[in-house]
Amino acid sequence: MLEKISELDQRLFLFLNSFHSDFFDPIVYQFTQTLPWVPLYIFLSYLIIKTYGTNSWWIFLAVGLTILLADKTTSALMKPYFERLRPCRDASLEGLIHHYGNCSGGFSFASSHAANSFGIATIMTLGISHKYIAVRWLFLWAVLFSYTRIYLGVHYPGDVMAGAIVGILSGSVSFYIFRIINQKVQIYKK
């Protein structure tokens, strides 16, 4: 059963990885980096402060915990445990895949990029979409951001899906933990 899932994942990867062009390669590579997204992160921070004012601390701590949980779960726990080679490191796929940029570390399951981006989308949706409904579009950003990993040949679709689940769970858990803490702090202040 696990072998069939892996084979299906590999076939889906080869299909999705085949949509590339020399023109888009450097653009997609930059899209998967952190620096181009700094303005988005600054804007989201502004929206948090605008929503919660001086009580924004708990959302920022929840964002920090989300990224910590998502990143450590995928990088420190899952990748070393499952030891699934990245497609760009798999000798059986040599000549079949399009790879652009750095192949990164040896293991791919699960995607930290997907976990972090879906974690951010989740925490922002839970935290501020009641005031800024457009924040929900961050899930589309997370999907596109995660697809870059398949496009570049460094993750399978299953890696991305598992990372997305880890991110959504990390964002949800972090949000509810810090919301409860914030509620207790507010009661204490009274």
Q: Following DSSP, what letter does each residue of 6-63 receive, concatenated?
A: HHHHHHHHHHHHT---TTHHHHHHHHTSSGGGHHHHHHHHHHHHHHHGGGTHHHHHHH
Which burial class, exposed, middle or buried, applies to 61 when counting CB atoms under 10 A from its CB (0-12, 13-18, 19+)? middle
Asked if residue 167 has pLDDT above 90, the reply is yes
**Beta-bridge partners for 107:** 85
Tell me the pTM.
0.93
| Fold classified for 53-189 | Vanadium-containing Chloroperoxidase; domain 1 (1.20.144)
Q: What amino acid is encoded at 163 in this protein? A: G
Buried b (16+ CB within 10 A) or exposed e, 143-161: eebbbbbbbbbbbbbbbbb
Residue 190: predicted pLDDT: 63
d(CA 143, CA 54): 32
pLDDT, position 93: 87
Q: Please report which confidence band the pLDDT of residue 87 belongs to, taking 50, 70 and 90 as the band edges.
A: very high
Q: Mean pLDDT, to the nearest integer, of 57-62?
A: 95
The whole-angstrom separation of Cα 70 and Cα 111 is: 10
Residue ranges per structural domain of the chain: 53-189
pLDDT digits (tens, 9 = 90+) for 113-130: 999 999 999 999 999 999
